[in-house]
């Protein structure tokens, strides 16, 4: 398949009159799949009402069919078309954070969405992205758009059109280049079908942000207990991993350096994911800074870019520093644990 490439200037006020947007929207109406930017990562969009389009998304990604997709909309009026029994809690969260990096799980309207999109569940994951290109494409095609991250399953999510091209060029119908994304990690997913909202996937909207709007919020047990089955789209399988194995290091800087030294003495080339503050403390074959420890949102923004950058090196193993799990740190550590397949090394305290 020949993949069409379009560049769209985000600063233009009326994007949905762009011929690039019109062409992409037309392909979506024909049940083709098109990658486009959101404020979190690039999404791989297809008509959420169509089994054919949904099947193309799963095939392009190599995604297991029991892993549901998030449905993207361009206006709050579209929610009632695909969801039912919308709770007051959900309404308050949508009012506070849409458009933005928050996905809400709602009861779905019967016989409306493709069963492939919801993986046969009675619920649907919905969000309204905060990106002018995404909103223009969805508005122009007039459809709810199912859109997981636009990467091959298991790889780090794409935060630029180049990442999408690396994974999916020649596989999908089109890629809209709208520049690099902002947040850098996927949306927060909140189950709003019960009495208390439950965070199924941490993201740019934190637990603290949610509780400031609706009071109490819970965190799904699967985020902290590996034996629990994840309920959120994109969280069930190995994800976010570069080609070399990743290990999470919990210890002092001197201990981290000693682990690096051990691997290098065995002839292995070692990569290290660290932060700008700690760059000067380490010596390794490849050292990549990932934001600043004093502002974890910069770490979230850079995380996937850095994980993908290791694939352009010849390292045999990747060590990563770890981060506190308050605020957006929960999302960062969630993604790093998935990238590392939960491989940890801990310093033994004397």
Instruction: Give 134's contacts (C-beta < 8 A, 6+ positions apart).
Output: 36, 37, 38, 39, 43, 72
102-108 and 123-127 strand pairing? antiparallel
Residues linked to residue 34 through DSSP beta bridges, in sequence order: 45, 174
DSSP state letter for 86:
-
Q: Which helix (H) or strand (E) holds 6?
A: strand 4-7
Q: Are 4-223 and 246-346 the same fold in CATH?
A: no
Note the pLDDT of residue 233.
Answer: 59
State the pTM of this model.
0.94
CATH code at 246-346:
3.40.50.11030
**Range 4-223: architecture per CATH:** Alpha-Beta Complex (3.90)
Measured CA to CA, the distance from residue 151 to residue 54 in angstroms comes to 15
Helix (H, G, I), strand (E, B) or coil at 19: helix
Note the pLDDT of residue 66.
Answer: 86
Measured CA to CA, the distance from residue 103 to residue 146 in angstroms comes to 12
Using only C-alpha atoms, the chain has a radius of gyration, in whole angstroms, of 20
Measured CA to CA, the distance from residue 308 to residue 325 in angstroms comes to 23
> At which residue do the structure tokens 């990106």 appear?
131
Measured CA to CA, the distance from residue 64 to residue 31 in angstroms comes to 20
Measured CA to CA, the distance from residue 68 to residue 168 in angstroms comes to 20
Question: In Å, how far from its chain's centre is CA 289?
Answer: 20
Note the pLDDT of residue 94.
Answer: 98
Question: In Å, how far from its chain's centre is CA 36?
Answer: 13
User: What residue segments make up the domains of the chain, in order of their start?
Assistant: 4-223, 246-346
List the chain pLDDT tens, one digit each, 350 residues: 999 999 998 877 778 788 999 999 999 999 999 999 999 999 999 999 999 999 999 999 999 888 899 999 999 999 999 999 999 999 999 999 999 999 999 999 999 999 999 999 999 999 999 999 999 999 999 999 999 999 999 899 999 999 999 999 999 999 999 999 999 999 999 999 999 999 999 999 999 999 999 999 999 988 866 555 445 555 555 568 899 999 999 999 999 999 999 999 999 999 999 999 999 999 999 999 999 999 999 999 999 999 999 999 999 999 999 999 999 999 999 999 999 999 999 999 86
């Amino acid at each position: 398949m020949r993949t069409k490439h379009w560049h769209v200037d985000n600063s233009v006020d009326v994007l949905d009159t762009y011929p690039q947007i019109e062409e992409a929207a037309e392909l979506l109406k024909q049940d083709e799949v098109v990658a486009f930017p959101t404020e979190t990562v690039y999404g791989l969009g297809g008509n959420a009402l169509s089994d054919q389009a949904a099947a193309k998304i799963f095939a392009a990604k190599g995604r297991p069919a029991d892993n549901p997709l998030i449905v993207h909309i361009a206006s709050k009026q579209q929610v009632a078309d695909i969801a039912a029994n919308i709770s007051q809690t959900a309404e308050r969260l949508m009012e506070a954070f849409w458009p933005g990096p928050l996905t809400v799980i709602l009861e779905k309207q019967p016989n409306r969405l493709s069963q492939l999109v919801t993986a046969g569940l009675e619920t649907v994951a919905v969000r309204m992205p905060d990106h002018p290109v995404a909103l223009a494409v969805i508005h122009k095609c007039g459809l709810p758009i199912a859109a997981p991250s636009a990467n091959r399953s298991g790889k780090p999510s794409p935060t630029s059109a180049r990442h999408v091209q690396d994974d999916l060029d020649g596989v999908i119908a089109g890629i809209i280049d709208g520049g690099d994304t902002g947040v850098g990690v996927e949306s927060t997913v909140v189950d709003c079908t019960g009495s208390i909202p439950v965070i199924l996937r941490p993201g740019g909207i934190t637990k603290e942000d949610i509780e400031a709007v609706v009071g109490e919020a819970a965190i799904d047990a699967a985020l902290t207990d590996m034996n629990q089955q994840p309920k959120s789209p994109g969280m069930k399988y190995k994800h976010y991993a570069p080609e070399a194995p990743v290990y999470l290091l919990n210890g002092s800087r001197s201990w981290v350096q000693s682990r690096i030294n051990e691997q290098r003495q065995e002839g292995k080339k070692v990569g290290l994911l660290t932060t700008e503050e700690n760059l000067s403390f380490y010596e390794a074959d490849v050292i990549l800074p990932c934001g600043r420890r004093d502002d974890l949102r910069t770490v979230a923004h850079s995380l996937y870019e850095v994980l993908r950058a290791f694939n352009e090196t010849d390292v045999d193993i990747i060590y990563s520093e770890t981060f506190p799990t308050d605020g957006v740190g929960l999302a960062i550590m969630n993604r790093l644990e998935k990238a590392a397949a939960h491989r940890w090394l801990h310093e033994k305290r004397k």
